[in-house]
Amino acid sequence: MDPNAASSRLDQAVKELALAGGGLYRIDREQLIELKPDFILAQAQCEVCAVSLADLNAALADVPGWRPEILCLSPTKLADVWTDMARVAEAFGAGERGGKVIRALKGRVADIIMKSTPIERRPTVACLEWLDPLMAAGNWVPELVELAGGKNLFGVAGQHSPWLDWNVVRQRNPGVIIAIPCGFDLARTQREMPALTRQLGWQQLQAVTQGRVFAADGSQYFNRPGPRLVESLEILAEILHPTQFQFGHEKRAWTSIKN
């Protein structure tokens, strides 16, 4: 499929492949055997995002004399990310170093929580992981919104991202809208914004009238479960409460969308 196609066409192409029983990815089996890695990091969370564990196992099934250790990760919450990082560090013989990294990341999270907890005025937030058709952000994103001092409206922490009806968005009328389409960088997200702005009733939304619509780099920060989720939390904190938080991510990782 054409990765530069519009969001609606990409969604359609993925669904057509799924109906036909085809995968989005093919493993270069010969290259993998030639490399003979000791470890392979895989994931079992989303077959749209990366090679499936089933495909990986099938590619390795009949390779004689070599079987790498497969570390399959499928975190859905921030705590799961810490656990997976520790798992990977231990497997690589770097448990102590991994522990230091995790403690430092947790410290940055704790600093934000200490500042956000006393905040009484918490804006309602809609984080959107796909724009056409509309999808709310799930997994760790609702948790990050709450830690940053917001009230998450759509998606449930620890659960996969759900499809979202535009009329429901209008009814809930979020005070802040943040577009973080899966796999898109900041520039691509900005190009995709008309999928939202042409929706019926867009101009009347609270977030639009108050100038609180934002686009962020979902690919680097929000869509992938890893150390950068701490930076994602920082991004949310400075978007939601700019007078309390300034981390310097604006323009590089996120930007305001003008009405």
Q: Which CATH class, in words, describes the domain spanning 109-256?
A: alpha beta
Is the pLDDT higher at 47 or at 152? 152
Helix axes 78-91, 95-116, angle to 10 degrees: 160
- Most confident segment among 32-36, 58-62, 108-112: 108-112
Return all residues near 163 (Cβ < 8 A) that are at least 6 apart: 133, 134, 135, 136
Residue 15 pLDDT: 81
Rounded to 5, what percent of the chain is helix, strand, coil? 45, 15, 40
Alpha carbon of residue 54 to chain centroid: 23
Residue 54 pLDDT: 83
Average pLDDT (30-40) is: 93
pLDDT in tens, 188-217: 999 999 999 999 999 999 999 999 999 999
Average pLDDT (63-85) is: 92
Using an 8 Å Cβ cutoff, are 202 and 194 in contact? no
Q: Please check the confidence at residue 18 and state whether its pLDDT lies above 90.
A: no
Domain residue limits, the chain: 1-73, 109-256
DSSP string covering 118-159: T-----EEEEEEEETTEEE--BTHHHHHHHTT-EE-SS-BTS
25 band by pLDDT with thresholds 50, 70 and 90: confident
248 band by pLDDT with thresholds 50, 70 and 90: very high
Share of the chain above pLDDT 70, in %: 98
Tokens of 112: 């934000």
Q: Please check the confidence at residue 134 and state whether its pLDDT lies above 80.
A: yes
- Predicted TM-score (pTM) above 0.95: no
Average pLDDT (144-149) is: 98
Residue 65 pLDDT: 84
Q: Please check the confidence at residue 24 and state whether its pLDDT lies above 90.
A: no
Distance CA(20)–CA(23), nearest Å, equals: 9
Lowest-confidence region among 49-53, 120-124, 255-259: 49-53
Residue 22 pLDDT: 66
Q: Beta strands of 13-150 (E only): which ranges?
A: 39-43, 69-73, 124-131, 134-136
Q: Please check the confidence at residue 178 and state whether its pLDDT lies above 90.
A: yes
Is the pLDDT higher at 35 or at 51? 35
Tell me what the pLDDT averaged over the chain comes to.
93
pLDDT in tens, 44-70: 877 777 788 888 888 888 888 888 999
